[in-house]
Amino acid sequence: MIIDCHGHYTTTPPGVAAYREAQKEILKRDPDHVFEKGDVVVSDDEIRESILSNQLRLQRDRGTDLTIFSPRASWMGHHVGNASTSQAWTEQQNDLIKRVCTLFPENFVPVCQLPQSPETGIEASVRELERCVNGMGFIGCNLNPDPSGGFWKDARLGDRYWYPFYEKMVELDVPAMIHVSGACQHSLDTTSSYYLGADTTAFVHLMFSEVFVDFPKLKIIIPHGGGAVPYHWGRFRGIAQDKGLGDLDERVLGNIYFDTCVYHQKGIDLLLDVIPTENILFASEMIGAVRGVDPHSGHYYDDTKRYIDGNKRLDARERELIFSGNAMKVFSRLDVQRIRGDQA
């Protein structure tokens, strides 16, 4: 089985954008408007069509079996409006992901976004995680370390502000993928400098903190191959050593994992050379930030299975760990036996 741990619903029917645009229009008139959840007008047939002709078609073409699926990251938009804006939007997005996974239970498993809002408490996110995991069978979440969209107004990930959320993650035994949303700071571009810079920043927050001492069972996924982290592993090892933090591998690799959303063979090869196989989860982020064909290879950039297959160092056991074994360990609520039973 091949499990893609990083997929977003980027092909939503028009009713989803219409709901969000209606929120924004209300905010233009009244930035303090308190939102109710309301309704997103999208039929099951619209959902089926949006998935069958896009994610499911590519899943079949590329030979993957299961996608761990969450709302569109760049649309989380935690900086938009106020806390009630984010709460209503987030609940609708997570309900939509649940509908996709109910319609295609053998192909998609749900992960939630959170109702974060800049400079507000974390309690709403704790409640939403509990609703999604206990009430709808979600197996993880996307955690935004910067709800302000590039201004970094909130506490670092090592701050005790986050501890009630980490406690709930450990209680529910679910991982978080670190994932910022759309950039609204003028110097940042969402899917390039902001995403990759935020991945690196989040790693450093955790590396310098006592989070994994306080929560030894916490599981964190750094996406997009870890941003700059694998390329500069020696720098981070040296800084940790200079600060008296001990061996970096021992400090973070019991809790931090990296995905394979790296869109060229040499980049994947470097990731696999630097990071232990046990800490790498297969992912493509398809259909996501990079949708074109690489003229050097003739294949889609985000067809990342080709890069794992093309690596000359991995043996069969290591490939199996990357393709499925590590995901089943990290996403411990993933019921592969049930999914395989549904497929039979």
Question: Could you tell me the CATH number of the domain that includes residue 178?
Answer: 3.20.20.140
pLDDT digits (tens, 9 = 90+) for 179-189: 999 999 999 99
Please, which pLDDT band fits residue 319 given cuts at 50, 70 and 90?
A: very high
Instruction: Please choose, from the candidates 153, 228, 219, 218, the residue with its C-alpha nearest in 3D space to the C-alpha of residue 195.
Output: 228
**Residues contacting residue 325 through CB under 8 Å, at least 6 positions apart:** none
pLDDT for 3 equals 97
Q: What DSSP string runs through 176-213?
A: EEE------STT--IIIIIHHHHHHHHHHHHHTSSHHH
> What 8-state DSSP symbol labels residue 12?
-
CA dihedral 21, 117, 194, 302 (to 10 degrees): -60
pLDDT for 335 equals 86
Residue 344 has pLDDT above 50, yes or no: no
pLDDT for 341 equals 62
pLDDT digits (tens, 9 = 90+) for 219-251: 999 999 999 999 999 999 999 999 999 999 999
pTM (predicted TM-score)? 0.96
pLDDT for 289 equals 87
Please, which pLDDT band fits residue 337 given cuts at 50, 70 and 90?
A: low
Instruction: Tell me how far apart the alpha carbons of residues 16 and 24 are, in angstroms, rounded to a whole number.
Output: 13
Catalytic residues, by residue number, are 285
Instruction: Tell me how far apart the alpha carbons of residues 243 and 306 are, in angstroms, rounded to a whole number.
Output: 39
Give the count of domains, the chain. Answer: 1
How much is the average pLDDT of 191-208? 98
How much is the average pLDDT of 114-137? 98
Spatial contact of 45 and 85, defined as CB atoms under 8 Å apart: no
Would you call 313 helix, strand, or coil by DSSP? coil
CA 77 to chain centre: 14
| Domain limits for position 52 | 3-343
CA 239 to chain centre: 27
Residue 51 has pLDDT above 80, yes or no: yes
- Length, in residues, of the chain: 344
pLDDT digits (tens, 9 = 90+) for 129-180: 999 999 999 999 999 999 999 999 999 999 999 999 999 999 999 999 999 9
Spatial contact of 222 and 249, defined as CB atoms under 8 Å apart: no
pLDDT digits (tens, 9 = 90+) for 13-34: 999 999 999 999 999 999 999 9
What is the H or E stretch that residue 220 is in? strand 220-222
Cα separations (Å) of 234 from 194, 239, 277? Answer: 23, 9, 18
pLDDT for 150 equals 97
